A and B are shown apart, each in its own frame.
Chain A
Amino acid sequence: MISESILTAKTLRLRPADEGDLVHFQRWLADDELRRWLGSVNEQPSIAEEYDWYMSKRQDPDTILWSIEAADGSLLGNVELRLSPLNRRAEVGIGIFDRGQWGKGYGTEAMRLVLDFAFGELKLNRVELTTDEENTRAIHSYEKCGFVREGLLREHRLVDGRPSDCVAMAVLRSDWETR
């Protein structure tokens, strides 16, 4: 589903993703390095594929998707929660797609909003993610948000045909409440 909740911090806000965002996402996904860190997108999608991706997220009751935009309204990327309601957990996926905006703390700020929502509104126990072990900037950002390394998944991804290890990380409700 597309989240109807608008979450606001000082430097950015999370708002419902809409079809107008897709052309921007699609254009940014031409960036090899961005796609490498996202892990799930091996080639730049076509507009039609990006639209299919959006519709599948919209129709999935266990996915919540937001677009991330800066305080001035410019689009930065997106973030989603994939829920397992039975187990009171979610997997989070986040991307600051506009590489001109990397390293400014937007990802960390957006993640904190999502965690507040996940533990506060959704009452989850656990939010988890998997990321490329070499993605040190992202790992540092996740650690600032309270994520802890739980395991190393050997050769979890293929990057240009080369096996790449991934780190499994999670933040628990108890970590979040005592932060």
Chain B
Amino acid sequence: MTVAGDVRLEGELVILRTRVDDDLPLFARWHGDPDVRHWLHMSEMPNQSLEVERQRWHIARNDPTRVSFIIETLEGVPIGNIGLIGIDAAHRRAEMGIAIGEKDHWGRGYGTDAIRVVVRFAFETLNLRRVELITDADNERGIRAYEKCGFVREGVLRAKRMRYGEPLDMLVMSVLREG
């Protein structure tokens, strides 16, 4: 399920646009910030060079089960990324991931707005029925944003990932198209 060409999706606070090759330095910077990495699987990886980001992106951009957007403010400033992975046409579901890489934009509603836009895109454009995610169980700000967008807690996955070498529980949440 590929999304042909450039996509531009408008929210109230953000614009989502298709990720392009030239965005790599943004990711290298965002993923180089320990406070951003804390909530991502990257917490377990060595600091990401541009070259590592490039290799990761070259695999991801040709994967038909993924879509990847840059989150921009209405003024056109890129502040983070959001996307869907594991898009499953048979079961009509996908997993969502988001990170606001610019810390000074945390807590201002940009993430919540971007999530609403992507969920709408998943249901209306990709015709999916279920969008799911997993998040660190102590990511209270993230969980609050997901709940505002209709995500419901479905369970606690014990020791689901490692963070700084220690097992960490994660929440699984989802939003369904109907209800």
Contact = CB atoms under 8 A, between A and B. Distances in A.
Contact of A42 (B45, B90, B158): B90
Given A151-B172, A153-B132, A155-B129, A128 B157 contact: yes
A89 B160 CA distance: 7
Contact of A125 (B154, B156, B159): B159
A87 B176 contact: no
B5 interface: no
Interface string B124-163: 0000011010000000000000000000101111111110
A128 B157 CA distance: 9
Interface in B93-147: 93, 129-130, 132
Interface residues of B, number: 24
Contacts of B68: none
B44 A87 contact: yes
A42 B157 CA distance: 27
Contact of B130 (A88, A125, A156): A156
A156 B157 contact: no
A119 to B, nearest CB: 12
A61 to B, nearest CB: 13
Contact of A152 (B132, B154, B158, B176): B154
B91 A156 contact: yes
Q: Size class of A's contact patch? A: 20 to 34
A87 B41 contact: yes
A169 to B, nearest CB: 10
Centre residue among B45, B130, B157, B159 by max chain A CB count within 10 A: B159
A163 B132 contact: no
Given A86-B161, A151-B172, 9 more contacts: A89-B159, A126-B158, A126-B159, A152-B154, A153-B132, A153-B154, A168-B172, A170-B157, A172-B159
13 contacts: A86-B44, A86-B162, A88-B167, A89-B161, A150-B156, A150-B172, A151-B172, A153-B174, A154-B174, A155-B130, A156-B91, A168-B154, A170-B158
Interface of B: 41, 44-45, 90-93, 129-130, 132, 152, 154-162, 167, 172, 174, 176
Interface of A: 42, 84, 86-89, 125-126, 128, 148, 150-158, 163, 168, 170, 172
